[in-house]
Amino acid sequence: MSSAIEQKKRIVEEITEKLKKSQTTVIVDYRGLNVAEITELRKQLREAGVEFKVYKNTLMRRAAEKAELSQLNEFLTGPNAVAFSEHDPVMPAKILNDFAKKNEKLEIKAGVVEGRLVSISEIKALAELPPREGLLSMLLSVLQAPIRNFALAVKAVADQKEGQSA
């Protein structure tokens, strides 16, 4: 078998693995962006731990089918780039959505969140969520409130009993 075919098979396997491991995958049309704009977008994504790649649509289609995401195939036309995030499900959507607001040439086409195809509106809703750290701090403050209230109640009861014994 030729080395070109072997290389394409390796790329399809790589994409398939990324589609399976990724918490959030976002497909965008980057047509019309200049080199400086793409470089800035890549920099923002890289700093957030999001991988941003351009693959041939035929290879993406094969990988999508292998990853049981054949619904993606209808969005794989024209020049596409794919953002993969294994760790933070919000960041790729947030960065790409914010960038698209500033630059109308970037178009969000589709997304996959935890193995499920999602609409553009769902990607935009995901982008409006606070980052993971913000969500964790919100959760922590919600969990701390009952404990704090309980501690205050125990202290009040202790103070009351101390006042009665005196």
3-class DSSP state of 48: coil
pLDDT one-digit tens code per residue, 91-123: 999 999 999 999 889 999 999 998 889 988 999
Question: Looking at the predicted structure, is the pLDDT value of residue 140 above 90?
Answer: no
Separation CA 117–CA 24 (nearest Å): 10
Identify the CA nearest to 53 among candidates 20, 87, 19. 19
Same domain, residue pair 125 and 135: no
Same domain, residue pair 82 and 97: yes
Same domain, residue pair 96 and 152: no
For the chain, the average pLDDT equals 88
Same domain, residue pair 125 and 138: no
Same domain, residue pair 111 and 138: no
pLDDT category at 1 given cuts 50, 70, 90 is: low
Same domain, residue pair 83 and 121: yes
pLDDT one-digit tens code per residue, 40-75: 999 999 999 999 999 999 999 999 999 999 999 999
Q: Which residues contact 118 (CB under 8 A, 6 or more apart)?
A: 110, 111, 112, 126
The pLDDT of residue 80 is 93
pLDDT category at 166 given cuts 50, 70, 90 is: low
Same domain, residue pair 67 and 100: yes
Number of structural domains (the chain) is 2
Choose the most confident range, by mean pLDDT, from 89-93, 130-134, 144-148: 89-93
Same domain, residue pair 135 and 123: no
Same domain, residue pair 136 and 87: no
pLDDT category at 159 given cuts 50, 70, 90 is: confident
Name the pTM for this structure.
0.75
Does residue 153 or residue 132 have the better pLDDT?
Answer: 153
Same domain, residue pair 98 and 17: yes
**Percentage above 90 pLDDT, the chain:** 61
Task: Write out the residue range of the structural domain in which residue 119 sits.
Answer: 3-129
3-class DSSP state of 69: coil
